[in-house]
């Protein structure tokens, strides 16, 4: 990807502006707007185009005005160099509980918890949801836990949305976790459909056993590993309903 400075220089060249002309026009804007922070010197702009140094908000507004560009178009040039952006599968939150307003965190939360989350009917069977448009390269898939899949109830209830990492398929050894909240959860595909729960392999890796939660009243199930069952991936996040809709509603 081109450097921010190189792209800004290309835009200035396309407009046929010299460094000195940008300085003069920014000075006029700074005078009109009543703040010298909007003044851009020719030497500062030359260094920005050459070295990609820090671009402040006031300078960004001036360049957007001079180059007739939307502010968000210039903001795209300021992404981290490694291309990292806020992803929907990771929320970077505050240190205190906050009621979200408009912004990136609210958008990410709406993706994980859409308004229809508590009103859409829960399917009878656990279902793997289709990939979002444009996410074909993502290792993450989402599934919804069906009413009949009670293996981890009440820890994870029917209707919960599961985020599954499809590249984490190895069954973790017993020594890798210390309590039930650390114990890895897997989404499995059997001949009868999808199931979600704790899983164990025997020492010969012949049998895979689905382990129910002690309070679930479900029974364990066992399949021949890789012949009768496939590990879709490890469940890495859960969005869970705390109030379950009665059957028939």
Q: What is the pLDDT of residue 83?
A: 46
Kindly state whether residues 125 and 25 are assigned to the same domain.
no
Q: At what angle do helices 19-33 and 42-51 cross, to 10 degrees?
A: 120
Extract the tokens encoding 113: 């918890």
> At 52, which CATH number?
1.10.260.40
Q: What is the pLDDT of residue 165?
A: 95
Q: What is the pLDDT of residue 244?
A: 59
Query: Is residue 88, in this structure, part of any structural domain at all?
Result: no
In this structure, what is the dihedral angle of CA atoms 73, 77, 79, 83, given to the nearest 10 degrees?
A: 110
Kindly state whether residues 65 and 185 are assigned to the same domain.
no
| H/E element, 197 | strand 193-201
Spatial separation of the C-alpha atoms in residues 213 and 199, rounded to whole Å: 11
3-state secondary structure of 129: coil
Kindly state whether residues 144 and 227 are assigned to the same domain.
yes
Whether 242 and 158 have beta carbons less than 8 Å apart is answered as no
The structural domain count of the chain equals 2
Query: Is residue 9, in this structure, part of any structural domain at all?
Result: yes
Kindly state whether residues 187 and 227 are assigned to the same domain.
yes
H helices within 53-103, ranges in order?
57-66, 71-75
Per-run averaged pLDDT (10 residues), the chain, 249 residues: 76 89 92 90 91 79 85 67 47 63 70 71 91 74 93 93 94 87 95 95 93 94 95 94 61
Kindly state whether residues 38 and 120 are assigned to the same domain.
no
Q: What is the pLDDT of residue 85?
A: 45
Query: Is residue 99, in this structure, part of any structural domain at all?
Result: no
Kindly state whether residues 120 and 168 are assigned to the same domain.
yes
Kindly state whether residues 61 and 167 are assigned to the same domain.
no
CB atoms inside a 10 Å sphere around CB 1: 8
Extract the tokens encoding 99: 């009621």
Residue 147 domain boundaries: 110-239
> At 123, which CATH number?
2.10.109.10
Kindly state whether residues 235 and 171 are assigned to the same domain.
yes
62: Cβ contacts below 8 Å, ≥ 6 apart: 26, 29, 30, 38, 40
H helices within the chain, ranges in order?
4-14, 19-33, 42-51, 57-66, 71-75, 104-112
Instruction: State pTM to two decimals.
Output: 0.60
Q: What is the pLDDT of residue 94?
A: 59
């Amino acid at each position: 990807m081109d450097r921010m400075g190189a792209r800004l220089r290309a835009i200035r060249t396309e407009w046929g502006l010299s460094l000195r002309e940008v300085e003069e026009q920014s000075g006029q804007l700074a005078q009109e707007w009543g703040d010298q922070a909007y003044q851009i010197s020719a030497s500062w702009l030359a260094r920005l185009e050459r070295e990609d140094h820090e671009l402040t908000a006031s300078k960004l507004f001036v360049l957007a005005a001079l180059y007739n560009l939307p502010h968000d178009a210039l903001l795209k040039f300021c992404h981290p160099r490694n291309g990292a952006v806020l992803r929907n599968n990771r929320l970077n939150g505050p240190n205190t509980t906050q009621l979200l307003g408009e912004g990136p965190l609210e958008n990410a939360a709406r993706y994980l918890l859409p308004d229809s989350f508590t009103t859409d009917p829960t399917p009878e069977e656990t279902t793997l949801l289709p990939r979002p448009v444009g996410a074909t390269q993502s290792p993450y898939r989402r599934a919804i836990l069906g009413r009949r899949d009670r293996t981890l109830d009440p820890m994870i209830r029917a209707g919960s949305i599961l985020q599954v990492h499809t590249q984490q398929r190895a069954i973790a050894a017993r020594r890798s976790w210390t309590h039930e909240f650390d114990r890895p959860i897997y989404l499995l595909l059997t001949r009868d459909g999808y199931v979600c729960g704790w899983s164990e392999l025997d020492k010969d890796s012949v049998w895979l056993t689905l382990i129910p939660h002690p309070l679930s009243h479900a029974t364990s199930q066992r399949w021949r590993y890789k012949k009768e069952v496939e590990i879709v991936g490890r469940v890495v996040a859960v969005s869970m309903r705390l109030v379950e809709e009665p059957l028939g509603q």
